[in-house]
Amino acid sequence: MTSPYAGFDNRLFYGLVMVGVLLNATGLFPSIMELDGALYACIAKIMAQSSDFVNLYAVGADWLDKPHFPFWIAASSYKLFGINTFGYKFPALLFFLGSVAYTYQFAKLTYSKGVAQVATLVLLTAFHGVLSNSDVRAEPYLMPLIIGPVYHFYRVFLGGRFYHLLIGSLLTGCALMTKGVFVLIPIGAGLIVHWLLTGHWRELLHWRWYVAVALSFVFTLPEIYCLYQQFDIHPEKVVFDRTNVSGIQFFFWDSQFGRFFNTGPIKGSGDKFFFVHTLLWAFLPWSLPLYVEVGKQLVALVKRQRNAPEYVSLGSGLATFALFSLSGFQLPHYLNIVFPFYAILTAHFLTSLTPTVLRRWTIGQTVIGILIIGLTIALLVLVRPNQLVSTVCWIAVIAFATFTIFRQNNLASLMGRMLGSMLILAASLNLVLYPTFLNYQAGMNAARYVNEQPNLVRKPTFLYMPGTGVGGGSFWSYEFYARAPTRYVRSDSTLRYQLSKGPQNVFTTTEQADSLSSRGFTVRHLATFPYYHVSRLTYAFLDPVTRPQTLQSYVLIGVGSKP
């Protein structure tokens, strides 16, 4: 059953899309956040500076975790825009917008123009999608590499030309080189579910899909080659504290099945219901209509009724949800990759409502939008940034304009109100709150301090982080934002070797700096920088009164050897 909803006027739709793009583009302005974002930015920085697109390095050592594709894109962006925040974030935003375009095309192909328009606006406003365009990891890259192949393969299913199979396979190969073999589940599960539920099960036997799988792995060969060159022909390399590590085996098994079964070198712990409650806030303001639509479709299937023109979105969304729920690794941003399918399900629900029921949903969603605005103002009042008064004033202006322009209880007004509410939230977070929080990202602020000191800017800095592995803390943001070379020091013996050439500048934690003088080093204090892990906010940190109690500190010191 297709929706009778015809859609918005084109001018209104494009105007709303522009607002949606704008609210996501505010994520370009905050500096790169630790931990993962800063680590990935550093890996791409090394790649760009060395022009070595085969090997991945982090903390001065071989790095084996995520595949190459996002780093290739970020490093290429650095070559074009320079090694800076914009260079790292901008390509991810473009990929995200690519997922928006594919969502529109797939929804228009399977439903109607009206559903496609609503799905586009839902995707542009889903909270964790907006957040991921500020704290950039792999997910903005994956989103178009999941919905894109589904669109092209569905076109093949409908009788489309061979080039759709080729493009779909290429995008699938890029997805494999971004996250690994589990991306085949969100890409393939929806198509298989659709075929089974609509009586097209013979598609599973069609030769073209086996060609697509083969081509997808052919397009993955650059990743296989790189892993072979860096790891498989070098069994002497120490990775995960052991030798004889196969990068190819890690790519096909340990990084995916090893994490799922919690048997790989990188382990985690998971709650089977984590994503049930996480999706409630991660997909705001659309989580309630999404849950209702999924429930309606499942009930209809149990009753052997068909109430949707396609089951790709339901199949991909539920299969991925189940996969991550059963996994030992669970983070809120994992489900971003199927937000396009969730957006389509949500749009189908909203556009199929009768005028009376739609009016009730519009009022209910408006309450959610008002709560989002209220919580944003409350957060601003709690944090008390320097721009508090001016920020609250422009929030009032945007809110007044939003609810004045979109004052009717119809679908166009519903989308306009949600866009206005999310614009307020996104702009407040990315332009006011996160810049305030990032004053406590010690490594970044220390690097900027050094960059501004004529006597320090050309000298290399040694990042003293004893131990093994990639570590953590605030070292990666220093490495990324520092103009001069940085080198990691993981032991006292290595530090002493560097000091044999003369005193050196060292960036480390206060605790490590205090202990150096008792271990045969001279320490000269240069500057102190407060630190907090800003991607894990707590009430105690948000409140300026209790904030000092949550802070650690890093120091920039001059270190020499005692006679």
Same domain, 274 and 304: yes
Q: Is residue 103 part of a domain?
A: yes
Same domain, 335 and 359: no
Predicted local confidence at residue 1, as pLDDT: 46
Same domain, 403 and 503: no
- Radius of gyration (Cα) for the chain, nearest Å? 25
**Which amino acid does the sequence have at 431?**
L
Q: What's 219-230 look like in SS3?
A: CCHHHHHHHHHH
Q: Is residue 500 part of a domain?
A: yes
Domain CATH number, residue 512: 3.40.190
Predicted local confidence at residue 397, as pLDDT: 97
Predicted local confidence at residue 266, as pLDDT: 57
- Whole-angstrom distance, CA of residue 509 vs CA of residue 556: 9
Same domain, 277 and 386: no
Q: Is residue 544 part of a domain?
A: yes
Q: What is the dihedral of CA 306, 308, 311, 313, to 10 degrees?
A: -150
Instruction: Indicate the DSSP class of residue 192.
Output: H
* DSSP line for 494-529: HHHHHHTTS-EEEEEEHHHHHHHGGGTEEEEEEEEE
Domain boundary among 390, 405, 439: 439
Same domain, 390 and 500: no
Predicted local confidence at residue 264, as pLDDT: 55
Closest-CA residue to 533 (of 17, 8, 36): 36
Q: Is residue 3 part of a domain?
A: no
Same domain, 147 and 180: yes
Q: Is residue 37 part of a domain?
A: no
Q: State the residue range of the domain holding 496.
A: 441-561
Distances (CA, A) of 539 to 346, 376, 425, 542: 32, 14, 18, 5
Same domain, 157 and 196: yes
Helix axes 69-81, 36-50, angle to 10 degrees: 70
**Which amino acid does the sequence have at 189?**
A
- Whole-angstrom distance, CA of residue 135 vs CA of residue 115: 29
Residues 6+ positions from 250 with CB-CB distance below 8 Å: 64, 227, 231, 258, 264, 265
User: pLDDT per position in the chain (563 positions), as tens?
Assistant: 445 677 788 999 999 999 999 999 999 999 999 989 999 999 999 999 999 999 999 998 999 999 999 999 999 999 999 999 999 999 999 999 999 999 999 999 999 999 999 999 999 999 999 999 999 999 999 999 999 999 999 999 999 899 999 999 999 999 999 999 999 999 999 999 999 999 999 999 999 999 999 999 999 999 999 999 999 999 999 888 889 999 999 899 887 776 665 555 555 556 677 778 889 999 999 999 999 999 999 999 998 887 778 999 999 999 998 888 887 666 777 889 999 999 999 999 999 999 999 999 999 999 999 999 999 999 999 999 999 999 999 999 999 999 999 998 899 999 999 999 999 999 999 999 999 999 999 999 999 999 999 989 889 999 999 887 788 889 999 999 999 999 999 999 999 999 988 899 999 999 999 999 888 899 999 999 999 999 889 999 999 999 999 999 999 999 988 76
Same domain, 312 and 178: yes
Written as six digits, the tokens of 405 are 């322009």
**Which amino acid does the sequence have at 329?**
F
Predicted local confidence at residue 270, as pLDDT: 60
Q: Is residue 39 part of a domain?
A: no
- Whole-angstrom distance, CA of residue 478 vs CA of residue 489: 14
* DSSP line for 398-445: HHHHHHHHS-SSSHHHHHHHHHHHHHHHHHHIIIIIHHHHGGG-HHHH
Domain boundary among 411, 439, 467: 439
Predicted local confidence at residue 269, as pLDDT: 58
Residue whose entry in the numeric block shows the structure tokens 């489309």: 160
Q: How many independent structural domains does the chain possess?
A: 3
Same domain, 196 and 220: yes
Residues 6+ positions from 561 with CB-CB distance below 8 Å: 496, 499, 500, 520, 521, 522
Same domain, 462 and 447: yes
Predicted local confidence at residue 305, as pLDDT: 82
Q: What is the pTM of this model?
A: 0.94
- Whole-angstrom distance, CA of residue 31 vs CA of residue 9: 37
Q: In terms of DSSP bridges, do strands 461-464 and 504-509 run parallel, antiparallel, or are they unpaired? A: parallel
Q: Is residue 420 part of a domain?
A: yes
Predicted local confidence at residue 561, as pLDDT: 82
Domain boundary among 439, 459, 488: 439
Q: Is residue 306 part of a domain?
A: yes
CA-CA-CA-CA torsion sign (379, 380, 381, 385) = positive
Same domain, 276 and 144: yes
Predicted local confidence at residue 472, as pLDDT: 80
Same domain, 221 and 359: no
